[in-house]
Structures are given as structure tokens and as C-alpha cells.
Structure 1
């Protein structure tokens, strides 16, 4: 039961305690772990905190009562504001504070000795808090840990770190109750197991809200043949902005956000206030835009995943998704940013970039109607994360290896960890491993006479806290004006392509490069035409269940009447000219075009998997003497072209390509070096910064390359090389989807030899030679080439009988 002061607060606001909020209180009273799955706007966060407020009202106590863990620093700060208001309105003597990388060192020190009742933090900050010798005292009174937006990181490395931290906390306070919150979970059972392995976790389902109103934008004219941005619809999107109070325009990449922002300003005749928000902009720039949103001074904000889980603004009455969403869960998450009220329908518009993306957008809407959400791929806990955790534990207090092994195995990602693997990680942390143990700098742990492991020197604990973290960004340069004003950051690899006098667009400004000094890219404003920076952030993968729905559309002509006439005609002519694959089939078309032989495989496994497969196929084709000259990919198809015709594609798609070509490719490519750089930083082998000084990306890369070469030569089975191999093989190449594709191909290839390009091939074929062109500069050429290809592909030759 809720205390009267809380029920009176609900009454004063004209609210009622929703069923799922009451069930969360009941679960807490029973001492039960709980997973709440509720729609955005359902009072999910308040539901997570109500048991804490009720307990502190009924059983006042000092010290830390509840930890709230968020994937984003900004989200933790936003929850603090939303939580402080009801606490103040009820007059409760409850202290709430935030602890993130932005918190001052003085405040952090005070929080360890005099913690608030509720502490809002991130997985990384929690891990650091556990690395202090006084952590047992800090957490002595902890009752509950609440994990918000658990779907955003549970299955990744940040989830591994958090799971290890929870196992550590459980050892310090055995009665700790675990709570997780999410709006978009495909398989709750996976998350219940992750939250509390082997224990009973109550599953609380939120009350259903009003059904969202989602439309797919119908272009003025025809749905484009190629592209993936939806930029052709800038004027239509602008008119929607004019009709609404506040619009969020979501883009799947930072580069696209910059382009769309400029497109909207180019048609902004009324000079409506339109802002830009993405992760590469400076913190000051992001906070300025967030403040303008909160104060109601913007009409639209162009943004990326930086606001997927972001700050909740009740005035948002429209969400626009530029390009296909790539997953139903992501689309629901973004739509939930509109209205943020359970009883009011959110309004959203999806702007597909091309004809395949129209099918994908329709598949996403159907999936939402059917309640079908994305499921996350789960994998064993990462060993580099475990190494960082062991170092943190040693910084807090010497530990016994057997007890630590048992504790680590209580974390779900490490439940199957073997004793041998654990000891390899432990000894890597202790001395760097066989090839590095001769160097004193890698001797981080020492074994006491009683067998327990401790930090070799107090300075190593300081260095750990300075360098710990899971997010390893690509090497970046600060973009600054000559007066020192920072605009944000761009990837070092992009900056390395620039020379003084070159121009690019960033933060909505056209900039000219003046010079590069150390880690600063010095620029000045310009009116000259500008390139758009290309960011290395991974492309969003097309979810498996959306791919399956798109395949279903192709095979079911009865569905085509739901599509715009030009999309339906595209599929009809494809059926006449070639064939449309049935679910489970792999259609491969071969045809001559522009003096080359082309092979197009319609596999629907996403851009990342297709990029990897393209590299493997061209290697195999070279071995077979087929003389490939290149490949191109989108989310739906892979096109390979060369000097010789592929008469039988089956041998190219045999599963052994993952054992032979993949192993050779990963070992000899820069892919493995990049993966090694990440695990070396996470595992603590390479330090990113020393007191008062941060290493540049070049310095970190140089250091990791040297160690990488040493280990490959002298200790090829080193733990970090194995961890890097798993990262490169699983995460960076989508190898699981490749394996499924190749297994399917073994008995399902449908090979069609054609005399010219097919309608289905146009969206991927038009990309040949364009992927390296600066985005935004090739649109006109793309349109011209797409139309020419389309005319050729859609032309049907009608056989006429001879006339006597």
C-alpha cells in the first residue's frame, strides 16, 4: 500500500495510480525482483521509484537506499529533475543526486562518505564507485538497484560491466533487490535471466496506451529508386513542421542529421527556429539546444540516436523518421518521444529513402500492430570487460581468486565462464601475460602471502580510475575556431583527408580548414560549398524480423495493393522479367551491364553482413579466376561485378567461406587491429590519459599496434588477441547472420540468368561508384543514373506473332 502522502499527491495532480505502478509496489513489499515493460508515457520511471519513496516515508533512514542506473548521463540528469519535483511537492526529506563523469571530484568524494538516499548513475560510474576501499561502507544500506532502459545496453559490453557490478553489490549486500525498466523488449525472459540468474523475477506489464498514429510519407511524384535518407521530402517535412507545435526529426546517422538540418533550413521560408542535436557536437551546443527545447523556443529539432532514450518533452507532437527505422523497437522508442502521455496517441511519419525502404517501413508498421519487437543477440561476457572489473575489485580490496571466480559466475553473461578462462584473465591483469611479463609497467597485481591479489602500487588504482570505461570512441579531433571556441568533434580519419582551404559542414555551419594542431582542427566560417563529414559510427542493422516481413511482401502479390502504384508496378515487372524470391529462398541474378558481368544476391541480412560477405566473395572469386572488380551493398542485396561471368554461384556461397576466407581476411585486415585497440583500452593494457594529459588517437593507435605485433609474434593465443578476434568476428562482421544466410543458401539458391538489369537490382546497382563520393554531392547524378537504369529494367519486350 502506498502512504497517504503519495496518494494525496496523485489526487492533487488529477492522476490515478496505474495498475503497473501498484504492482511494482506489491513486488517490492514481497522483496521480489521485478522487470517492468511499459510504454513510454506510462509513468515507467515513477513506477520504478514509487517503492523507494514509500519505503523511505515509512522507514526513514540515512545512507544510500536506491541506485538508479541509466545508459545516458543526460537521462540520469533528466530523471533527477523529474524526481526532485514530486519529492519537493510532497515535502519529503529525501536527497537525490547524480554521479556521472560530469560530477565534480569534490562531490564524488562526499558522496562516498555521505551518500544521498537515491543516487542516479551510469554503469561506468558505478564500477568506479565500487573500486574504492570504502565501497562496502558506501553501499552498506543499499536496498534496491533500478536499471532504466535495460534493453539499450544489457546485451553489450556495458551490460557485461553492469552485470559484474550487480554481482559485486550482491556480495556486499545480499538482500539487494533488482529492478529493470523498458518500453521495448522483444523477449522478456532473456532480460529476467540477465537481471537475476536463477531467481524469481516478477514480470510486470504496463497498461496499454493509445495506439500511435503512424503514416508512411507518400512522395510528391514517385518513391525514389535509390538512396536511404528521405532527403527528397525536405519540403513535405517542413510543411509538417509548420503544422505542428514541436517536431523531432530523427536521422539514423550524424552525417544525415547534418544534411537534413541544412535541407530544412534551405526551405525554411518563415525562418522557424530549427535546431540540431547529435553526439559529435560539443556538450555546450547540445545543452543549449536542450534548453531551447525545454523553454519552448524551438519548432523542430533534427537529431540522432542521442535522443532515442532522451529527455522527455511533453510538447513534442510529431516525430519524423528520416529513412527506414531498421527495427520496430527503435521506431516505437522514437515515436514515444511524442506527447509522452499514455492516453494520447503519438503521431509519427516515416520517410522511406527508396522502394525497398518503403517495404521496410510498411513491415515496421505491421510489426508494431502485431506487437512484434526486436530481439537482441546475446553472447558470452567479454573478457576485456572482466579484466577491467577484476582490476576495479583489486583497487577496492585484496581478493581471493576462488571467491572472485564464484562471484563473477553469478553474473549472467559469465555463468558459463571456465576456471581456465578466469585464470587467463586474472594473470593478464597481474602481469600482462607471457609475452609482456618482463615489463614492469604491466605488473598491476601482486599476490599476498595469504594468496589474495592486491594492486601492486597505489598509483595503479589512480590510473585505473582515470582510464576505466567501456565506450572506446574512434580517435577524434576537436573542431575549433581560431579564438578557441569549440564546435564539437570529428573522427581523426576524416580530418586526415582535409587540407588547409578544404571546406566541410558541421553543426549547421559551413567551415573552412585553416590548420591542424595536435588534436585540434582549426576552422573559420565560410560561404563556400562544403562537404559533409563522414562519421565512423556503425550503421544501424536491419532487424531480422523486419527482413522476414519484407521477404513475405515480395512473395505475396495480394499485399501489393497496399503499396503506392509505382512500388506495386516495380514488383509486378520484376515478377515478369525475373522472379521474386519466396521466404527462405536466396535469389541470385546474373546479367551483363556496362561491359561487366554482375551478380546480385538478395539476402536481406543488412548492410554490415553484406559488406563482410562482399569482401569474402571477391576473395573467393579471385582464387577461382573470376576476376572481380568490386562490390556494393545495401540492407537488402549484395552486388558483385567483374570481368568474367559467374555461371554457377553455389560454390561461392558455401559455408566453408566463413572458415577459410573469413579467417584469412580478419587476420590480415585492419579490422582485427581496430578490435584489438578497443579491447586493449578496455582491458587496461593501454592508458588513454595520465593526470592532466590525454593521449591523442594517434598515440593510442601507435601503442596498441606495437603491442599487437608483439603478441601476434610471441603469444598468438594471448587473451586479448582472442577477445579481439571474437569482437571482430562476431560484432563487426555480423557473422551470425552470415552463417544463417550461407546455411540457407546450401539448398535454396534460385539462380536467374538475365540479359539485362532487373527492376529489383536497380536500387543496389545505382550505388556502384558512388559510395566513396562525399554524401550530398552525388544526389543529382544518382537520380539521373537511377532513372536511366530504371527505364532499362522496367522495359518489357512484348513478343508479337509474325504477320503473314
Structure 2
């Protein structure tokens, strides 16, 4: 068997910068975080010293933890050569590992085991594997930056402290270049000392930003033109959402451009085939989301194309860094932008990168649902144990972040759910339900579901929507799906919506996937606007210090260059405050540069001015959640992590209100605020307005400005048919006209089957001649009332009774107004139908 040192000389002419710095430190068994860009050799910098130290060791001596199964497979292939030549046994374990392979690992454990964070959770409580884990001397955590800003990192942080109860090990983290490396190091090292070993300044990038204005199709055409110009180049075309990936890949395929596609919603087999095709050279071009950002070995790309702005400096670096992998090469990328906002944002990101800026990532600390799961894990590890001892173990993890009284609340909640026994001596023990709960919740990634979209006008299911998208909506908002515009009514087990006759702005159905834009990037866009000085035919340019409020009748556009999360917070708070003021629904949509509001009637300057105040911000932000889909969805996920709900559970706001003073509710609100809101940043903006540090300008207009229309057009991208009201009503009327009905005579029992549009004007029985026809079948007590409606109102009465949810009393109330305008009649009937559907679930049989 050869030594690692001799093998290294065969593979590398000389160490890279990160290898030169890191290897001596790691050979001293010190904890460390290695920070270096893609293609710098940091994997070998961490792995080879550990392999050198594994020589002669028995059992599982090293855990190599990666955030993705695909990375597990990739790492196994990369390690094969080193381990086989050095005589070191190694294996992969994850959810898809076969039963026979698992048995082999139990009976003859490898020296190096490659796992995901979730697999670590499973093997920590395994009866046999737990004994093997006592031999662990080294833990390497790859792609640490991907475990920040989410609860997977929180779970891993506590899991490592549980492992530390049975093993003493060196901790090594690998990360791409990040703004706060000490924060990343604390995630894996907890309170232990560690060194940050930084490769130094990242590589320069060759970047070109290309305009392709004129809608999505024009941008697609420009991408096609670039791909066809130098055919045969190995490229990745990165996009920001799965729906864009599918749309672009479909377009290129129809245009006979040879491409493949890669995103998280595709099966593992399809993704693996694409990865192998890229690495082997059979596939030249792939359209991909962030699924190909991580360090999966796909070989060296010659060029990266980014479709529209990458949204973040960190993503730009990670994506373009996929090209020019060798350290002597310079990564190369083109950003193809489709409108003014994308152009300015791409320029701002390029400038911020050149200035050394990176978005900060914070560890998720104090997550009560994760702490609950890890406490149950400790009870599985140790049997009956003191709650104080459990607190001491978990609090070593940097991500734990709970005070003793907060932890006690978590423990008591687990007791109320009958997952654990709580004893008078402040100890706890596991119940059988607790064992099942632990394995059901090995992952903190929410088990997402699809929501059916029901058309209230026809009472039919028309589409399915991703949960992450539904979570962004509130009743009254306009959104797009299946090429049409809808207005949300309410969320229950389904999403109920009505076709929208028109909308000034909508929320497209990809918005739940899109990458948030940091406040610093949005501010940089504002500065570029001011420095460029391009007026675009307007009198005022909204910039980083000037907020512009445009009022055009019912539409209000607040231009605020403060990023995704600040503007989302502003939007929700303004929506709540204005709805309270007006006593009516207010629709809202936001993006990194504007808040777009739609009022029920023409807006007044003083309403908006009075709502832009910093007082009660957190209170109003929390209150705004009660009108959102996010509260119900995130509460359901959090409740599952506390063992409250099964996979198919459905909940309503009544249950949530009963849980307001519990850890489940508190964690729900904290999770939503952490993901979507920026309360601190929003308060600074509102305080800046109050202190006149920021300028607020109002402008009343007949038509919205260029800067407003850019945002509105972005929202409408991919929605070809916003129907005018007349067209929408005509469509509904035609569908009702084709509805089959049975007319039955209450006198002689004769029946006649017809359609609403072909029914006779004179409602006399064709057999006995009496005017006693009714719609059959129906509730016995309503048959005579329906006959009376047909006698009194004729065809209009039949039309009204054919609308789902409209009974004889409701029909009579509406028809008695004697509408001259049939459109107004139909709108009233549709409103009645909407109320019926909303209230039906509360009725008792």
C-alpha cells in the first residue's frame, strides 16, 4: 500500500494555496474551517491529511458529511482512487442504501463513512452503529455555507454534540468564500477552538452583461444565439427558478438546440444521468437551477451563462466558478438580462463582487422545533436522563441558542404530546410514540404538499400549486397560474380563487422559488439609478435614499430600493394598516425595488403617509400573518416537528389561536419572520423617513411611471391572457348555458332533460300544461320554492338556480332587484356562490 504523501505527488505537481496552508494544521489534529472558492483543491486539502491519519485505524474513524445525496455519490467516486491505493475502506450511507449494504456496514464498518446530516441522525441511535461511532476521530463537514441560514445546519450542530458524548474527534469544515467564516466555524465546532484557514482573495471573473429586452422570448432567443455561436463548448445555463428552467429548456429543444436539464424536482436518476453526461462530455449544454451550484464533480465548464440576474453575489461567484476550474484559468460567464431591473441588478452585483462584498449568512439559532427533536434523540441515546444534563449537552452547540426556561417550555410541550415521560425528579424518558416521532422527523426539510386550485365560478379543480408559492399569498391577491390571472378567496384543504377580470399587478406562480435580493444589492441599484441619471421620460428617479409613492387612482406603487425582505415586510404591514383604515381588502405584491398596492377605491396621499410609521411594527407584522397562507402552512410544518400532526393533517386558524402561547406558535412566527421578513431593516427605513434622513415624495398620476411599469411587467411575464371582465363573464355564461338540468312537474311528475340555454321560455309542463316545473332533484322543502322562482322570473330564474351554491332564497333576493344589466346580475350570483363555498365547511349536517 502506498502512503498518501506519495500518492499526492502522483496527482498534483504542487499544492494549491489552500492545501499548502491547511494540511500542516490538520495534521496537528486541530479543528479548522477551510474557506476557498470552487476548484481550489480544498476537498483534498481536508481529506488527505485525515486519510494519512486513518492508516491502521479500525472501525468508523472518519465521518464525511455532505448536504446532498448526490454529493455523497460524487465524493465516493472521488475517494475511490485515494482509498483503494492507500488501503482504506470507505462507504456511503443514506436513505437509499440497500439493506444488504447496511448489514455489511454493521458487521464490518468502513474506516471512512460518507453520510448526510439526516443519516447522522439515524445512525446516532442505531444499536450497533452507535458502538462503531465511538471510534470516530475525525468529522469533515462539506459545503458548510449551504447549512447556514437553515435548520439543517441547526440540527447538525446539535447532532455533533450528541456524537461528542461518545467520541472525541477533530472537526473540519469546508466552505466556499463567505462573509462571516467565524459564524460558519462555530456552527460545526460549537464552543471548541478552531482556526479559519482562508485561501485568500477569490479568483477574478470574466463577466459580460448582455441586454435582451423585449420579453421572455427575446431573452430566450439571445441565449440560443450565444449557444449556437460557438457550438461544442461545455456550458451550464443557470436560471433562478424551476419553471424558468423548464420553459427555457422547452424553447431550446423546440429550436433544435441540443440541451439537457437539471433541477431539484427531477428524479435522482435523471439528475445523475445529466451529471454523468456532462462529466463524460456526451452532454455539452445543461439548463440548471442551483442544483448544480454545489461541488458535484461535472468536469470543467468552458463557459457559464446566467439567465437574468443571479440575485446574489454569492450565487454569481458559485455559478461562474463552475468554469475555469483549474487555478491557472479564469472563470468566464455571460449574464443575459431581459429588462431594466435585471440589467441594473446584474450591474450592481458585478460591482459589489469587484468591491469584495458577499451577502452575510447567519446560523439559525434557537429553533425550538429542532431542539425538541434533538432532546428526544438524546433520550433514545441515553435512556432516562436529567433534563438539566440534556440542556448542558445541547447548549454546547452554537445553534442551540435557548435559555433554560425556553428549553423547559419545549420539554413540557413534548410531554403534552405524550412523546416522553416527565418525572417529578426533573428527568425524562422516551415513550413508544417518541421513537416513531424521532424517525418520522429525521429531516428538517418540510414535507411539502400540492394545493388544488378550485375555480369558484365553476366549482372545478383547474390546477395544482406548490405549497411554497401558496405560502406567499393572502386573500384578495391576484396571482397567475396556467396562463390565467386569479384572485385568491381563501385557503382550506384547497385554494379557492375566482377568475380575475383584470389586474394591475399579479404574483406569478414561480415567486415562491425565487432567490431573495439582499438590501445592499437593492441599495446599489438605487445608487446606479442616481449616478446614471437616466430619467426614462420621468421627472423623479427613485434611488437608494429617495422613496417615491405613485398614486394612480386605486393603484399605489411605493418605490423603495431596500431588497426582497424589507419590501415584503413593508408590503404586509401597509396592506394590514390600509385594510383596517378602509374596512376592505387591499391587494399587495412586492419585489426588491417596489411595493405595489391595489385599493378598492382611489387612494389618498394621507392614507399612505399615515401608514408609513415605525410604531407597532412587530405587532402589525405578526397580525398580518393571520390573513396569510404562510401562518397555516408553517404552523403545520412546525407542529409536525413537535409531534402534533401526521402527514395528512389539515388545520384551521381556530386551532392556531388556541396554541398562541405555546412553543409551536412561537417557533412558527419566528420561522416566518426569519425567512420572509426583515423587521430591523424595515424599522430603520421607517425611522429614516420620520427623521427626514430618507426622502419621501408623492406623485399623483393618470398613468404609472416607467419605473412602476418595469415591475408590473415582470410580474405579468408568462401570463398571456389577462381577460377583460366582459370576456370572463361571457365565458362563465356560456359554460352555465351548457349545463344539463332536469325539469320535473310537481303536478303530474313528468320530466324533461334539457340545458339551461335550450330550456323553454314558458315554464309550463309539456304533459299537463301547468306552471309547476321545478329543477330536479333537490331538497324536498326547496322544490316548491324553485318552481315559484321559475314562474316569477322565467329564464333568469333558471339561470340563477343553475349557479352552484345559489338556492331559492338567495336567488329570490338577488332577482328581486330586477337588474337591467345581465353582467351585474351574474357578478352578484358569483359573489353569492363564493360565500356559499366559503361557509359550507362550517355547516353541520
Q: TM-score of the superposition, structure 2-length normalised?
A: 0.74
In the TM superposition, 1:603-622 aligns within 5 A as 603-607=560-564, 609-622=566-579
How far residue 734 of structure 1 moved from its aligned partner, in angstroms, is 4.1
User: Are 2:589 and 1:632 aligned?
Assistant: yes
Shift of 1:94: 0.7
Does the 8 Å contact 2:94/2:116 carry over to 1? yes
Q: 1:468–1:684: 8 Å Cα contact kept in structure 2?
A: no
Question: Counterpart in 2 of 1:24?
Answer: 22
Segments of 5+ residues of structure 2 without an aligned counterpart are: 453-463, 471-480, 484-492, 495-507, 725-845
Select the residue among 185, 190, 194 that pairs with 2:178: 185
Q: What is the 5 A alignment of 1:419-498? A: 419-432=404-417, 443-447=418-422, 452-457=427-432, 460-462=434-436, 464-476=438-450, 491=466
Whether the aligned pair in 1 keeps the contact of 2:83 and 2:90 (CA below 8 Å) is no
Distance 1:622 1:418 in 2: 38
Q: Secondary structure at the match of 2:86?
A: coil
SS at match of 1:750: strand
Is 1:10 the counterpart of 2:4? The answer is no
After superposition, what is the alpha-carbon deviation per residue over 1:212-231, rounded to whole angstroms, capped at 9, x for unaligned? 21111233xxx45x779943
- Identify which of structures 1 and 2 has the higher relative contact order when contacts are C-alpha pairs closer than 8 Å and 6+ apart: 1
Distance verdict in 2 for CA 1:555–1:491, change over 3 Å: closer
Measure the CA separation in 2 of the matches of 1:157 and 1:404. Answer: 20
Measure, in 1, the Cα distance between the counterparts of 2:86 and 2:327. Answer: 27
Query: Hey, what does 1:406 align to over in structure 2?
Result: 392
Shift in Å, 1:620: 1.9
Identify the residue that residue 245 of structure 2 maps to in structure 1.
Answer: 257
CA contact (8 A) 2:618 2:679 kept: no
Partner Cα distance (2:49, 2:247) in 1:
45
C-alpha displacement of 1:611: 4.2
Q: Does 1:577 align with 2:553?
A: no
Say if 1:681 and 1:113 are closer, same or farther in 2 by CA, change over 3 A: farther
Other-structure match for 1:511: none
Pair 1:114–1:22, CA change in 2 (3 A): farther
Provide closer, same or farther for how the CA distance between residues 189 and 310 of structure 1 changes in structure 2, counting only shifts above 3 A. closer
Q: Contact 1:133–1:395 (CA<8 Å) still a contact in 2?
A: no
C-alpha distance in structure 1 between counterparts of 2:590 and 2:482, whole Å:
26
Going from structure 1 to structure 2, the CA distance change for 1:54 and 1:296 (only over 3 Å counts) comes to: same
Q: Does structure 1 retain, via aligned residues, the 8 Å contact 2:191–2:397?
A: no
Question: In 2, Cα distance between the equivalents of 1:780 and 1:314?
Answer: 48
What is the CA–CA distance in structure 2 between the aligned matches of 1:469 and 1:311, rounded to whole Å? Answer: 22
Per the alignment, residue 334 of structure 1 pairs with 319
Are residues 326 and 589 of structure 1, via their aligned partners in 2, closer, same or farther at CA, if it must alter by over 3 Å? same
Compare CA radii of gyration and give the structure with the larger one: 2
Secondary structure, aligned partner of 2:297 = coil
Tell whether 2:228 aligns with 1:239: yes
CA contact (8 A) 2:376 2:438 kept: yes
Who is 1:738 aligned against?
A: 682
Report the CA distance between 1:739 and its aligned residue.
3.3
Distance change >3 Å, CA 189–CA 77, structure 1 → 2: same
**Alpha-carbon distance in 2 for matches of 1:408, 1:493:** 31
Distance 2:584 2:388 in 1: 57
- State the distance in 2 between where 1:548 and 1:315 align: 35
CA–CA separation in structure 2 for the residues paired with 1:780 and 1:245? 44
After superposition, the Cα gap between the structure-2 partners of 1:469 and 1:462, relative to the gap in structure 1 and judged at 3 Å, is same
1:680 maps to: 639
Distance verdict in 2 for CA 1:192–1:492, change over 3 Å: closer
Partner Cα distance (2:218, 2:271) in 1: 23
Aligned counterparts of 1:727 and 1:110: Cα–Cα separation in 2: 40
Q: Per-residue displacement from partner, 1:749-798 (whole Å, max 9, x unpaired)? A: 32142545333222024457x37xxx3636999xxxxxxxxxxxxxxxxx
Can you give the 5+ residue segments of structure 1 that lack an aligned partner in the other structure? 433-442, 479-488, 496-502, 506-517, 520-532, 561-570, 689-698, 782-804
How far did 1:493 drift?
9.7
Shift of 1:736: 4.3
CA 1:736–1:200 in 2, change beyond 3 Å: closer, same or farther?
same
Q: In the superposition, relative to structure 1, how do residues 196 and 50 fare at CA in structure 2: closer, same or farther (>3 Å)?
A: same
Contact 1:551 1:581 in 2 (8 A): yes
Q: 1:143 deviation in Å? A: 1.2
Give the SS at the match of 1:600.
strand
What's the CA shift string for 1:345-381, capped at 9, x where partnerless?
1211112232121111111112222222111144432
Question: Where in structure 2 are the equivalents of 1:17-166 lying within 5 Å?
Answer: 17-57=15-55, 60-88=56-84, 91-134=85-128, 136-166=130-160
Q: 1:777 aligned to 2:720?
A: yes
Is the CA contact 1:186–1:374 (under 8 Å) kept in the aligned structure 2?
Answer: yes
Q: 1:721 to 1:641 in 2, by over 3 A?
A: closer
Does 2:545 match 1:589?
no
1:356 counterpart SS class = helix
- Partner Cα distance (1:605, 1:229) in 2: 29
Q: 2:696 aligns to what? A: 750
1:646-700 per-residue CA deviation (whole Å, 9 max, x = no partner) reads 3244322112352443232213433211111111222333344xxxxxxxxxx23
Where 2:535 maps in the other structure, the secondary structure is helix
SS of 2:87's partner is coil
1:192–1:117 distance in 2 versus 1, CA, 3 Å: same
CA distance in 1: counterparts of 2:451 and 2:104, whole angstroms: 34
Looking at structure 1, the residues matched to 562 and 109 of structure 2 have their Cα atoms a distance apart, in angstroms, of: 48
Structure 1 residue 639: deviation in Å? 2.3
Residues 1:308 and 1:739: Cα distance change in structure 2 (over 3 Å): farther
Q: Deviations over 1:449-504 (max 9, x none)?
A: 976432223x75255324421111321599xxxxxxxxxx9847999xxxxxxx97
Task: Pick the aligned partner of 1:551 from 526, 543, 559.
Answer: 526
Paired residues, what number?
676
Give the match's secondary structure for 1:573.
coil
Alpha-carbon distance in structure 1 between the residues aligned to 2:82 and 2:405? 51
Task: Specify whether residues 598 and 476 from structure 1 end up closer, same or farther in structure 2 by C-alpha distance, changes over 3 A only.
Answer: closer
TM-aligned CA deviation for residue 445 of structure 1: 1.6
Structure 2 SS opposite 1:681: helix
Whole-Å separation in 2 of the counterparts to 1:633 and 1:75:
35
Is contact 2:64–2:114 with CA below 8 Å preserved after alignment? yes
Q: Measure, in 2, the Cα distance between the counterparts of 1:548 and 1:590.
A: 20
Determine the C-alpha separation between the residues in 2 that align with 1:145 and 1:371. Answer: 31
C-alpha distance 227-299 of structure 1, shift in aligned 2 (>3 A): closer
Alignment match of 1:171 (pick from 150, 153, 165): 165
In 1, Cα distance between equivalents of 2:656 and 2:57: 53
**Any idea what SS the aligned residue of 2:173 has?**
strand
Q: Residues 228 and 324 of structure 1 are in contact (CA less than 8 Å); yes or no, is this contact kept in structure 2? A: no
- After superposition, what is the alpha-carbon deviation per residue over 1:308-354, rounded to whole angstroms, capped at 9, x for unaligned? 21522224211111111111011111112223222211211112232
Q: Given the superposition, is the C-alpha separation of residues 664 and 490 from structure 1 closer, same or farther in structure 2, using an over 3 Å criterion?
A: closer
Which sits farther off after the overlay, 202-211 or 142-151? 202-211
CA distance change for structure 1 residues 228 and 25 in 2, over 3 Å: closer, same or farther?
A: farther
Q: CA 1:612/1:448 → structure 2, altered by over 3 Å: closer, same or farther? A: closer
What's the offset of the Cα at 1:161? 0.1
CA distance in 2: counterparts of 1:622 and 1:709, whole angstroms: 22
Relative to structure 1, is the Cα distance of residues 130 and 266 closer, same or farther in structure 2, using a 3 angstrom cutoff? same
Measured in 1, the distance between the counterparts of 2:364 and 2:154 equals 10
Q: CA RMSD in A?
A: 3.3
Contact persistence 1:133–1:396 (CA under 8 A):
no
CA 1:75–1:475 in 2, change beyond 3 Å: closer, same or farther? Answer: same
SS of structure 2 residue aligned to 1:171 = coil
Distance 1:85 1:780 in 2: 62
